[in-house]
Amino acid sequence: MTTLKDLSRHLGLSVTQVSRALNDHADVSEKTKVRVRDAAKSLNYEANVLARRLVTGRSGIVGLVYPTMPDPSDSWYFMQFVAGLSKEFSRLGRQFMLHMPDDAGDHLDVYDRLVRSRSIDGFIIMTPMVADPRVNFLRSRSVPFVLHGQTMDEPDYPFFDIDNMAVGYDLTAYLADRGHREIAIINGNPGASFVERRFDGYRQALRERGLPNRAQFEAAGMMTADLGLLETVRMFQSDGPKPTGIIASNLRIAKGIISALNAMGLRVPQDVSVVAHDDKLPDVSAESLGSGLTTTEAPLGDSWEPLARFLNATLDGAPLSEVQEVGPHSLVERGSVAVR
């Protein structure tokens, strides 16, 4: 079995240099990192987790506590999330562990048990809530973590996110600036921070343009086609104004919206315009919906590398400024919006 010393002798580098290269330290050149990784692969080197723990007090393992077994319709998201993170942590020389409790909730007892066992060096937190108890718990225990998203507070922790307030704002402004005055939004689960940020952006865009913010034009729930269909039917069957433009928080919701409009004999975009946010996931595409859906885009797959890199850097003591990032999104115009 190849050891770190064997790898060191083979490369003519010190054990420390080899170790730091394998763990992606910033003070090692990219050329050296590639050379060390190639040699480790050719010599079938595998890090000794037990030895690392004895020397450093760390296990070399990072974890994700996934809230519950995903619905079959979400299996593609679950697999991409887990496979993407696992691949990136493997590249950094760390092991990735998935823990799935058997009940819903914030699972602070699970985090407590894992922290006390000292089996996990740090955690990835997904879908943070407005005020997330997981953040406060791990911070109180001085346990490293990284968020896929943010809470609503000023972030004093590592995270990778997109500007979800801007997403809500941009989609609303796009419709409003093309003459739409009655604009609805169908969003994700209430309480999730990204959902509240998108609502905030939507309301700000309406407010700045003097447009009505109608309670009946805001809907939230599990991000499925069924939600889009049912909420669209509700809006058009209720008394009062009807939306001329609808924002969907993902493409599944948009698919349901378009199905409902078609069933009611309403055309996109001639009668109702539809826009959406697109995470670039494989089960539905913006191009396949009607004549093509105008969207904001930010591929979810672009999150895995920075999330792994930021947690790895946090474990190595990186300053906060190096482990926080708001990624970009773009707006892509297609054929789903008509000028009023």
Q: Which domain holds residue 36?
A: 4-46
- Examine residue 9 and state whether it is found in any structural domain, yes or no: yes
- Examine residue 54 and state whether it is found in any structural domain, yes or no: no
- The pLDDT value recorded for residue 73 is 63
Residue 115: CB atoms within 10 A of its CB come to: 16
Could you tell me which residues come within 8 angstroms of residue 29 by beta carbon, excluding any fewer than 6 positions away? Answer: none
CATH number, domain of 9, equals 1.10.260
Q: For 301-339, how does the pLDDT look when each residue is reduced to its tens digit (9 = 90+)? A: 999 999 999 999 999 889 999 999 999 999 999 999 999
Q: Do 147 and 188 belong together in one domain?
A: no
The DSSP code for 218 is E
- The answer, as to whether pTM is greater than 0.85, is no
Q: How far separated are the first and last CA of the chain, in Å rounded?
A: 71
d(C-alpha 48, C-alpha 58), whole Å: 12
Give alpha helix (H) positions in 93-249: 108-117, 133-140, 164-176, 193-208, 225-237
Q: For 285-311, how does the pLDDT look when each residue is reduced to its tens digit (9 = 90+)? A: 999 998 899 999 999 999 999 999 999
Residue 34: CB atoms within 10 A of its CB come to: 11
Q: Do 109 and 142 belong together in one domain?
A: yes
- Examine residue 28 and state whether it is found in any structural domain, yes or no: yes
- Examine residue 184 and state whether it is found in any structural domain, yes or no: yes
Q: Do 201 and 255 belong together in one domain?
A: yes
Q: Do 233 and 183 belong together in one domain?
A: yes
- Examine residue 338 and state whether it is found in any structural domain, yes or no: no
- The pLDDT value recorded for residue 8 is 87
Count up the domains in the chain and report the number: 3
Phi, psi angles (nearest 5°) of residue 44: 60, 40
d(C-alpha 266, C-alpha 118), whole Å: 58
CATH number, domain of 218, equals 3.40.50.2300
The DSSP code for 103 is S
Q: Do 240 and 313 belong together in one domain?
A: no
- The pLDDT value recorded for residue 54 is 44
Q: Do 34 and 154 belong together in one domain?
A: no
Q: Do 230 and 287 belong together in one domain?
A: yes
| Closest C-alpha among 188, 185, 199, 259 to residue 222 | 188
Q: Do 179 and 147 belong together in one domain?
A: no
d(C-alpha 215, C-alpha 339), whole Å: 24
The DSSP code for 192 is B
- The pLDDT value recorded for residue 280 is 92
- The pLDDT value recorded for residue 241 is 96
The stretches in the chain having pLDDT less than 70 are 1, 23, 46-58, 68-75, 102-106
**Which tokens belong to 171?**
């989609």
| Closest C-alpha among 328, 324, 311, 319 to residue 96 | 311
| Closest C-alpha among 266, 231, 237, 235 to residue 252 | 231
